[in-house]
Amino acid sequence: MEVKRKILAVTFLFLLFCNLLAAQNYDESKVPAYTLPEILLSNNDQKITTAKAWEDIRRPEIISLFEENVYGIMPKKYDAISFKIKRESPKAMDGKANLKEVEILVTNDLQSDTINLVLFTPSDIKKPVPVFLLINNRSPRNTSATRDTISEFWPAEQVINAGYAVAAFHYSDAAPDNKNTFQDGVLRLYPEQLKKDNGMKAVGAWAWAASRVMDYFENDKSIDASKVVVVGHSRGGKASLWAAAQDQRFAMCVTNCSGNTGAALSHRRYGETIERINTTFPHWFNNNYKKFNNKEQALPLDQHMLIATIAPRPVYITNASEDLWADPKGTFLAAKESEKVYELYKLKSSLPKNLPPINTPSLQPPLAYHIREGIHDLTAYDWQQFIKTADLYFNK
Ligand code: GTR
């Protein structure tokens, strides 16, 4: 009896292991044949040939496809918002920057949530400056206000030296990244979302919080709110894309190594899959998204369409050479597919035809891309390129 149980247990573990291996494909020849949903064909088969038709018809359709099937509907209304400067230091970074620590308090239906913002602006500015805003999904130490930790994940000194303001908030202020506690943030304000299959979850809440920071920027005279770049890495990069898609006040989006349900094409089933992401992180996307576990072909959308909703505003997309989990090729292909929408705005993409070599950035807006040598991360090298593209775009 005991032996039989052991055999059963070993067989079970072996099958589980095979299953896990089989689920993740890293072999280009095993990418299934797929047809991407047409970006430029409306739900009632109308061909979209102008920027106006895109904005009036197709873009709203695509936004609702993503709301319904992936990220959930983002609530836009709240009762009140207030900004409190908790600390200000005009002599931060050896006198090079002004530091503000701002408490953004949002209330709705007697519930509230606080987003804590760290903001450095260059000291010597004569007019409002553009700003890079990071949705920090790693340790809060990365975005230290005291600069007791200096990290490449948020190289604030480097951004200040380039003449930009630099800001960050920690994503857990908006939604803890945990399947049992993600409700304990922004979703306290919108409890009805939790009952709906198309309700907002964690990624939606992180993007929502970026928009509240945008509300603050519109009230800070040192910031040029028409030049805000929203930046996110990985799961933060999924949120930065969704934030820029939802909120057209963001002038530019950076999505760094964002992978599955970020900037990579799901239909390819290369690296992380929808089933895998929904199983490991059930609190990120809405309930409807689970219907597409192992059913990528049935998706009425793919991530190239999300990138396209940000047009004509620039998007900077990245990968890392060792980060196959995030499917660099599928990410680059998604960027290429979105070019058609930029063309409607007469914006010519300067992306190369095929995935460029490692460390060869294509910086010219509207679509910028690089694949950096190394692992899944956000580094000083990455930031250096984002700054160059922002310089080109803002004519600095
Ligand atoms: C991974 C996840 C990715 C990505 C990454 C990260 O575990 O599978 O989709 O979001 O985490 O955020 O670093």
Ligand 1 center from residue 262 Cα (angstroms): 10
Contacts of 364 (CB under 8 A, 6+ apart): 350, 389, 392
The pLDDT tens digits of the residues spanning 26-83 come to 999 999 999 999 999 999 999 999 999 999 999 999 999 999 999 999 999 999 999 9
Predicted local distance difference test score (pLDDT) of residue 7: 66
The pLDDT tens digits of the residues spanning 162-190 come to 999 999 999 999 999 999 999 999 999 99
Taking alpha carbons only, the member of 373, 233, 247 closest to residue 316 is 233
Ligand 1 pocket, residue 277 CB under 6 Å: yes
Ligand 1 pocket, residue 349 CB under 6 Å: no
Ligand 1 center from residue 129 Cα (angstroms): 32
Banded pLDDT at 106 (limits 50, 70, 90) = very high
Predicted local distance difference test score (pLDDT) of residue 335: 99
Ligand 1 center from residue 120 Cα (angstroms): 28
> 59-66 and 235-246 helices cross at what angle (nearest 10)?
140
Distance of CA 195 to the CA centre of its chain: 25
What does the alpha-carbon distance between residue 234 and residue 378 come to, in Å, rounded to a whole number?
9
| Residue 10 pLDDT exceeds 90 | no
- Specify the pTM: 0.95
Mean pLDDT over residues 285-298, rounded? 98
Ligand 1 pocket, residue 259 CB under 6 Å: yes
Banded pLDDT at 13 (limits 50, 70, 90) = low
The pLDDT tens digits of the residues spanning 250-261 come to 999 999 999 999
Active site includes 42?
no
Per DSSP, helices labelled H in 162-273 are 202-217, 235-246
Banded pLDDT at 319 (limits 50, 70, 90) = very high
What does the alpha-carbon distance between residue 121 and residue 128 come to, in Å, rounded to a whole number?
9
What domains does the chain contain, in order, with CATH numbers? Answer: 40-393 (3.40.50.1820)
Q: Among all chains, which residue has been given the structure tokens 């998007």?
A: 315
User: CA quadruple 37, 39, 40, 42: dihedral positive or negative?
Assistant: positive
- Residue 115, SS3? strand
Percent residues over pLDDT 70 in the chain: 94
Banded pLDDT at 396 (limits 50, 70, 90) = confident
Predicted local distance difference test score (pLDDT) of residue 18: 45
Identify residue 165 by its one-letter amino acid code: A
Active site includes 234?
yes
Mean pLDDT over residues 276-283, rounded? 98
